[in-house]
Structure formats: C-alpha cells, structure tokens
Amino acid sequence: MLSLSKFVPAILALTCAQFAAAAPGSLSFVRRANDLIRIPLNRDNDTGLYTVDIKFGSGEVVQTLPLVIDSGSDFTWVPGVRCTSAKCPGVDTFYDPSISSSSKDLNKKEVVEFDQGFVITDLYSDDICFAGTTGGTVELDDFVFGSACVIDGFTADPTHGRLGLAEGSLIEAISRLGASDLDSYWKRQYTRDPPFSRGPKPYRTNLRRRDNDAASELVLGIDPDFIRGKISYLPLVCEDEIPANQSIFWKTKLSTVKFNGNALVQSLDAIVSFENGINHIVAPGNYSQRIYDLIGTPKIRDNVFDCVDVHQAGNLMFNFPNLKRLTVPSTVWSRELGNGWCEALIVPSTKGESETWVLGTLVTDQFVEIFDRTNLQYGLAAPTAFDAEATITDI
C-alpha cells in the first residue's frame, strides 16, 4: 500500500530476514530519509475493527498473523496452536512456536480479561516484524506476548488476536521509533518520545466516513496532510484516578455526558477510554438503559428502535474538564437494519460499577487519533479524507 503523502519516491523493500541480529529486547528499523514510517491497517467492514499483519519469527520461515489493534489493552496475544476452544480459528492463523527458531517459551501463563471476553495464554517471546510498511521497515526482537490456549467471548472477531497499544514494551518501542521519523517542525515540538497517530490517508474525497473506504494507517509521528484544522488534546487520567490494575492509556476525565439535551453524567469519577478493539460505545452502570428510554419504544430487542425515533433523539455529547466537547450524532451511534428499524450501538458495560465510558471505532473512525505518550495526552483532529459527522470543539 503506497502512501499518498507528499513523499512519493519509491521505497526500498526489505524483509525481516534482512535485518542483522539485535540484542535481546531491542528494536531496529530502516527508514527512508525525510519520510514517516507508515504501517498499513486492514479494516473489517463487518466488525468495524482494524488489523495489522505481524510477522513472527526470524530467518527464512516466518508466520504472518493478522492482529486487531487495541488501544484499550497493554497485552498482545495471538491464537495459539494449543488452543482447543470452540472459538479458536482455523489452523492457518495459529501461532506455532515450533516453526520459529527465535521463539522462546517463558513457562508462564497469563489470564487477561476484556470487556467482551477473556483469554488464557502461555507467554512466549519471539522476533516480530510489521508487514507492508512504507517509509521503512520495523523489527522488534524478543517481543513478549501471549499464545492463547483458551479464547472465550469476542463475538465480533473470534479469529484474531490483539496488538496492545495501551502501554508496555510495544508502545514504548513505537514512540522511540517515531522520534527519528519527525521533520524539524515536530522535533522542535517534542524533545523526547513524540506521538504516533492513526487515521485515514488524505484522499480528500469529502464524503461521509461510512461512504468512504479511505485506507487507514498507523503512522510513527504525525502527518499534517492527514489533518484538517487543529488537534484537540485531552489530558490522560492520573494513576490514582483509576483502579490499580488499569493503564492510564488512553483514558481521560469527563465532566458531563448529555443525550438529546438531558444530563446523564455529572460525576467527578467519570472517565472516557478510547479503544480501537471494539466497534461500539460501552456505557457504564444503567446509562445505556436510560438512553434507550429516552429514544422511545424498542422493537425486536432492547436496543432496536424506529429510525425516526433514533434520529430525533439527536446527539450524544461528552464534555471534558479542559473545555472540549465531543459531539456524536445519531448517524454515528446507530446503524440502519432495514424495514425502518435502527440499532443503537450503545451497550451496557460488563464491569459492574465502573464509571468508564468506552468509545470504539464507530467514534474514533471519525477522526485522526494522536497518541502522545510523552505529554500524557490523547488528541483528536478532523481528517482531510472525508467530512466527519462527529466533531470535537471548544466549549
């Protein structure tokens, strides 16, 4: 996949096998001068989630597995060859450590819970390489991940693992790589680890997001050609504001949530988490039911309504303490099912009394996302690729 940015000369293609061996736990990359490293993402139109192809192993034999990028988790896992769960995918997408000469069994297990399921994994380390990159090639040696032997839940995408972008060795490595990829302007702005970003390539088609198949990329740095207008930054939460077992990435404090002018949340403990591992909105407590009640009379199930009622319900608005407002219209938080019925893509949380709202790809797809680890902030900007329906503005 070629970049449509201003840097268009041919890029030297390198395979993982062409890298010299690096020290354990290290990373290496080859970057074309004056360009950003870009990692292509594949969008599943059925689930609304994005996958990246990762090559596991070194030498002539490597395994390529598609992993869902997940900004809500710090754990990377793949379906393992020992997996016996009914949800395990076909053998072609298993990770088989016996194939890789660089694979190491760490003789530990890790159980990780997600909002939509859980996995039980055996921990391994192996060399990995991002497939299909332009502007350079990236390799991480002795990367630690889980090989799943049990997969439960994940109704939207049971066949793919997860590439955790919330914290840990991967996010640190990506941030360090981005430091060498920035032009002089961005170097003046960021003296340490710079941000990385995700967004649609700038086709400038001026279409709505759902009508546009603009390819999305993970960029090590920020490409100004992707962005229309300014970036709105939201500061990340402090560690003492969330449970001890959670990461601060990529979560921010809320001041209020309003639906069709009705105040739903006015709490000092409310938080929003921006996550690419789900394709809907997760509402804590009984807020999803309160939203359903405000929409109207449900049809075939609790979250399905007459489309007229859905669109009359209007906007879901998130107000932030730094005087930013994220407005999500009904055309974004719902989808048409036919026969005049619409489904509200707002579901209840499975985590009990949590005060965290989770905004998945149906919201984040409306923007270019900026993951700024150095300054502990998350940014949203209008894309140049299409006319977004959701907006973030100053209050």
**Interval 333-382: pLDDT, tens:** 999 999 999 999 999 987 766 789 999 999 999 999 998 888 899 999 99
Res. 215: pLDDT tops 60: yes
Res. 17: pLDDT tops 50: no
What is the structure's pLDDT at 109?
95
What is the structure's pLDDT at 158?
53
Cα–Cα dist 223/216, whole Å? 13
Cα–Cα dist 129/137, whole Å? 8
pLDDT band at 122 (very low <50, low <70, confident <90, very high): very high
Res. 8: pLDDT tops 50: no
- Could you give the percent of the chain with pLDDT greater than 70? 76
- Could you give the percent of the chain with pLDDT greater than 90? 41
What is the structure's pLDDT at 33?
44
CB 361 within 8 A of CB 384: no
Cα–Cα dist 228/230, whole Å? 7
Res. 73: pLDDT tops 60: yes
Report how far Cα 215 is from the mean position of its chain's Cα atoms. Answer: 15
**Interval 234-291: pLDDT, tens:** 999 998 888 777 889 899 999 999 998 899 987 778 999 999 888 899 998 889 999 9
Q: What is the mean pLDDT of residues 202-206?
A: 40
What is the structure's pLDDT at 156?
55
Nearest to 381 by CA among 197, 206, 185, 214: 197
Name all contacts of 11-20 with Cβ < 8 Å and 24+ positions apart.
11/35, 11/134, 11/135, 11/136, 14/137, 15/129, 15/137, 16/55, 16/57, 16/58, 16/62, 16/127, 16/129, 16/137, 16/139, 17/58, 17/59, 17/60, 17/62, 19/129, 19/137, 19/139
What is the structure's pLDDT at 10?
22
CB 196 within 8 A of CB 371: yes
Nearest to 270 by CA among 253, 246, 250: 253
What is the structure's pLDDT at 212?
42
pLDDT, the chain, mean: 79
What is the structure's pLDDT at 173?
61
What is the structure's pLDDT at 5?
25
CB 249 within 8 A of CB 172: no
**Interval 134-178: pLDDT, tens:** 877 778 888 999 999 998 876 655 568 899 887 665 666 665 554
